[in-house]
Amino acid sequence: MQKKEPALPERIQKPKADLVKLGALVQSARRQRAMTISDLAAKANVSNRTIIGLEAGVRRAIRYDAVVRLISAFPLPISEQREWLGLAGHINLAAADVNRILDNQAQRRAGLVESPEVEPEVYFQELRDKVRDRPALMCMWYTSPPAASVSPGLRQLVIDSLKSGLWLAMFCPYPAETPVELASLRAHYNEVICGVRELALLLRKTVGEALQSKIAVFEPVPQEQLVAPPMRLAEYRPALLHYNDVPAERDELGVYLRLGFGARDRWLRVYSPDWHEGPAKEAALKALKTWQDYFAHVLKAWDPDGVGWNREKLKDGRWKLVIG
């Protein structure tokens, strides 16, 4: 008779993740404190979609930092913190890492540190609310197909922002005409150009005729230069947010970052005028001014109180208006 192997001691057995149970605990904790999903999302610095999916029991995985940020929104005892991490499959996360994230969250709420990285959905939720009182132009640069094309949740937040006070200028730096012999490069260029144009047309159709002029596509004037495509392991889309009738130093700069290997998309805040003064802000301000120069003549042609896009000011510039 074969001898049965003894069970591993309890202290080193890895508990099975149970996101359904975790979602129920999150929902219970939220309701006990009379918090809405949006309240919790803002406090924990996660997206509404993350909480909705977790509470509905449909999420397959959740990152350890998102779990810790959710924990930070509630005064949970250590035992419950470990339970939540275990149910998320992160029981072996070091206490030092947990404390680091908790400390960062506490400092962020106190306004002591900047929060440069957020989920894209969180950023666009904040943007939607921010542009209600004043129009703002977002200039976004695409070297890969738009994420909003394949993410309904993100696309809806963009639409909500457009209906609020946002204008969107979509820039594709690739030439429309590429030598036939450069077949792979030409295919990539066409994929991005078509993706940007299709998303713009979809957004224009969705927001309705009255708001269509708020969405425009710009492409370079005919040129011989070939723009290098991004590595598919990492794609990035810089975005300049320009407010109407305010000093240029009040503009904001961010980047939508998509990494390979199943990593989550993220939005990085590159420059914010509300950051504390110091070397980091000075370096970020240089990056802001670089992108302001890059989009300069389109920024000058933006007329939110009039025709939308001043065609005269767009003449003889580096960008031509393709849709708008």
In a domain, 241, yes or no: yes
Question: Is residue 93 located within the same domain as residue 141?
Answer: no
In a domain, 312, yes or no: yes
Quote the pLDDT of residue 120.
84
* Per-position pLDDT tens, the chain of length 324: 444 444 433 333 444 678 899 999 999 999 999 888 888 888 887 878 888 889 998 888 888 888 888 988 888 888 888 899 889 888 887 777 777 777 766 766 655 445 567 778 888 888 888 888 788 999 999 988 888 777 888 889 899 999 989 999 999 988 887 776 888 888 888 999 999 999 999 999 999 998 999 999 999 887 656 677 776 667 888 999 999 888 888 899 999 988 766 667 888 888 888 877 777 788 889 999 999 999 999 999 999 988 889 988 888 788 999 998
In a domain, 143, yes or no: yes
Give the containing element (helix H, strand E) for 191: helix 183-207
Quote the pLDDT of residue 277.
75
In a domain, 5, yes or no: no
By DSSP bridging, strand 166-171 and strand 215-220 are parallel
Question: Is residue 315 located within the same domain as residue 172?
Answer: yes
Domain range for residue 43?
A: 14-113
* Residue-by-residue DSSP string for 253-301: EEEEEEESTTPPPEEEEEE-TTSPSSHHHHHHHHHHHHHHHHTHHHHHH
Q: What is the sign, positive or negative, of the torsion defined by CA atoms of 122, 125, 127, 133?
A: negative
Question: Is residue 107 located within the same domain as residue 150?
Answer: no
Q: In the chain, what is the straight-line distance between the N-terminal and C-terminal CA atoms, in Å? A: 80
Domain boundary among 98, 113, 128: 113
Map tokens 């695409």 to a residue: 142
Domain boundary among 66, 89, 113: 113
In a domain, 3, yes or no: no
Query: Structure tokens of 215?
Result: 């969405």
Question: Is residue 175 located within the same domain as residue 290?
Answer: yes
The model's pTM: 0.69
Question: Is residue 103 located within the same domain as residue 123?
Answer: no
In a domain, 73, yes or no: yes
Question: Is residue 53 located within the same domain as residue 135?
Answer: no
Quote the pLDDT of residue 218.
94
Question: Is residue 249 located within the same domain as residue 281?
Answer: yes
Question: Is residue 100 located within the same domain as residue 225?
Answer: no
Question: Is residue 187 located within the same domain as residue 286?
Answer: yes
The whole-angstrom separation of Cα 257 and Cα 235 is 6
**Number of domains making up the chain:** 2
Quote the pLDDT of residue 13.
40
User: Residue 259's beta-bridge partner residues?
Assistant: 234
Query: What is the domain-level CATH number for residue 47?
Result: 1.10.260.40
In a domain, 9, yes or no: no
In a domain, 187, yes or no: yes
Quote the pLDDT of residue 141.
93
Quote the pLDDT of residue 130.
84
Question: Is residue 223 located within the same domain as residue 316?
Answer: yes
Domain boundary among 78, 113, 148: 113
Question: Is residue 169 located within the same domain as residue 314?
Answer: yes
Question: Is residue 38 located within the same domain as residue 123?
Answer: no
